[in-house]
């Protein structure tokens, strides 16, 4: 497994930007050439654009969806109706809301399908009542929604076991107008925590468990259906199964959490925080302006700072990130710093926009549009 030191090794200082002194930190920098590299890797690993349904929750950004559309990827997953709307506007083939819609989100999803009739709007379910509510709302709007059955492969977050409960949901979908069975959704977010060498066998075990169900569905379904499976740590293994459509998301920007735990993916870090030293309150203490409102606190280690790799975190407050470097640090107040988060997705969601860097220059800004909960519908 690569060490953090190896991942942060950057003799060419690729992350530095010429305008750093003028930028009001904290700022999130995105490097599109690195994002492009990551898209190529996703395509290679999955085996082609038709094998991918990437998640947009990592970047929440229309320009990053467009980069994937430009490479022939036509189907996307979204976590919120706003993410689905941002994506649908760009005219893909399909957008799946990969969170079961409940309450007003059912009507919002139907409104979205109405607003973008040329896009297949789909979602997932694990609850019979939601099937009924979706069917009713879609019938009233005179449209049809694709519905995936959410199968739990062991994460224990959502979904039903791969057996009778799936068959019941399948029949319930088939019995009503307004909803169409689109396939199975199998998200195994627990794979990231497991040692890399265990993942291939465990993914094969998921498919073995699914097989009787797939045999049954092949007989019962009157149209082809999909099996949408996996996130970053497992999609290389799902890709070996010809029926899988792979749905990684973090792969677009990458981060240190996955960088250390999923070494088999040759992805590049593509998003970096730019900050400043805010204070030197004591010898051996460096306080940065990367508080929890600009660097997500959801991981035990938040980030690594170029030049201070391995520094211990002493405090992480709303606007302050206090580090104890391993070696004496000469940085004065105002010093520019670059930091790579361990978990990029929740950090992105803290920013209204990202600063786009090409050849060491900030050239434009892109909105993190779907960080909002609602865009139109
Ligand atoms: C349902 C679902 N699908 C796909 C993904 C993408 O997984 P990853 O972040 O490992 O790429 C996620 C991540 O949270 C998810 O929740």
Predicted confidence band of residue 50 (pLDDT cuts 50, 70, 90)? very high
CATH of domain 32-253: 3.20.20.10
What is the C-alpha separation between 179 and 131, in angstroms, rounded? 8
CA 57 – ligand 1 centroid, Å = 8
| Cis bond before residue 26 (omega within 30° of 0) | yes
Ligand 1 atom with the shortest distance to the CA of 345: 9
Question: Taking a C-beta distance cutoff of 8 angstroms, is the pair 104, 148 a contact?
Answer: no
Locate the DSSP E strands across 171-243.
179-186, 226-229
Ligand 1 atom with the shortest distance to the CA of 247: 4
What is the C-alpha separation between 140 and 85, in angstroms, rounded? 21
CA 196 – ligand 1 centroid, Å = 17
Beta-ladder partners of 275: 337
CA 337 – ligand 1 centroid, Å = 30
Ligand 1 atom with the shortest distance to the CA of 230: 4
Ligand 1 atom with the shortest distance to the CA of 251: 11
CA 206 – ligand 1 centroid, Å = 17
Average pLDDT of every residue of the chain: 98
Predicted confidence band of residue 1 (pLDDT cuts 50, 70, 90)? confident
Q: Whose CA is nearest to atom 5 of ligand 1?
A: 231
Q: Whose CA is nearest to atom 12 of ligand 1?
A: 231
* Mean pLDDT (whole number) for 118-123: 98
Backbone angles phi, psi at 279, to 5 degrees: -165, 155
CA 232 – ligand 1 centroid, Å = 7
**Which CATH number, 2.40.37.20, 3.40.50.1000, 1.10.1030.10, 3.30.1490.100, labels domain 4-29+266-371?**
2.40.37.20
What pLDDT digit, counting tens, does each position of 296-350 carry? 999 999 999 999 999 999 999 999 999 999 999 999 999 999 999 999 999 999 9
Q: Whose CA is nearest to atom 7 of ligand 1?
A: 231
Straight-line distance from the first to the last Cα atom of the chain, in angstroms, rounded to the nearest whole number: 44
Q: Report DSSP state, residue 55.
A: B
Q: Where are the domains of the chain?
A: 4-29+266-371, 32-253
Which of 41, 154, 229, 250 has most ligand 1 atoms within 8 Å of CB, for mutation? 250
* Mean pLDDT (whole number) for 61-70: 98
Beta-ladder partners of 229: 186, 246
| The pLDDT of residue 2 | 87
Q: Which residues line ligand 1 (CB under 6 A)?
A: 55, 77, 98, 187, 189, 231-232, 247-251
What is the C-alpha separation between 184 and 232, in angstroms, rounded? 18
* Mean pLDDT (whole number) for 158-162: 98
CA 304 – ligand 1 centroid, Å = 23
Q: Which residue has the higher pLDDT, 251 or 2?
A: 251
Q: Is the pLDDT of residue 223 over 90?
A: yes
Please provide the DSSP assignment of 219-239 as one string: HH-SS--EEEE--TTTHHHHT
CA 75 – ligand 1 centroid, Å = 15
Q: Which helix (H) or strand (E) holds 106?
A: helix 105-115
What is the C-alpha separation between 340 and 240, in angstroms, rounded? 31
Q: Is the pLDDT of residue 207 over 90?
A: yes
CA 58 – ligand 1 centroid, Å = 9
């Amino acid at each position: 497994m690569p060490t953090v030191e190896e991942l942060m090794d950057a003799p060419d200082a690729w992350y530095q930007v010429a305008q750093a002194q003028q930028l009001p930190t904290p700022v999130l920098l995105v490097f599109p050439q690195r994002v492009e590299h990551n898209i190529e890797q996703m395509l290679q690993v999955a085996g082609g654009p038709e094998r991918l349904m990437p998640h947009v929750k990592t970047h929440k950004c229309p320009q990053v969806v467009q980069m994937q559309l430009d490479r022939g990827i036509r189907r996307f997953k979204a976590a919120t109706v706003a993410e689905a709307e941002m994506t649908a506007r760009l005219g893909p083939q399909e957008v799946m809301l990969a969170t079961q819609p409940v309450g007003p989100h059912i009507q919002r999803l139907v409104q979205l399908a109405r607003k973008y009739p040329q896009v297949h709007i789909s979602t997932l379910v694990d609850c019979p009542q939601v099937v009924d509510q979706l069917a009713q709302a879609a019938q009233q709007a005179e449209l049809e929604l694709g519905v995936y059955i959410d199968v739990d492969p062991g994460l224990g977050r959502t979904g039903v076991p791969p057996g009778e409960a799936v068959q019941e949901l399948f029949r319930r979908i088939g019995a009503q107008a307004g909803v169409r069975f689109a396939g199975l959704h199998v998200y195994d977010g627990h794979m990231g925590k497991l040692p890399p060498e265990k993942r291939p066998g465990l993914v094969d075990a998921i498919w073995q468990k699914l097989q009787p169900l797939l045999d049954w569905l092949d007989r019962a379904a009157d149209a082809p259906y999909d099996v949408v499976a996996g996130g970053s740590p497992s999609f290389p293994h799902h890709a070996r199964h010809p029926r899988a459509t792979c749905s990684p998301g973090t792969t677009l920007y990458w981060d240190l959490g996955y960088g250390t735990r999923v070494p088999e993916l040759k992805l590049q870090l593509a998003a970096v925080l730019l900050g400043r030293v805010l204070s030197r309150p004591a010898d051996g203490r460096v306080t940065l302006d990367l508080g929890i409102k600009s660097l997500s606190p959801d991981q035990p280690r938040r980030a690594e700072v170029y030049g201070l790799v391995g520094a211990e975190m002493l405090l992480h407050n709303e606007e302050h990130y206090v580090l104890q470097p391993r070696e004496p640090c000469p940085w004065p107040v105002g010093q520019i710093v670059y930091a790579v988060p361990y978990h990029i997705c929740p950090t992105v969601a803290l920013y209204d926009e990202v600063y786009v860097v090409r050849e060491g220059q900030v050239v434009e800004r892109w909105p993190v549009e779907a960080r909002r909960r609602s865009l139109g519908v």
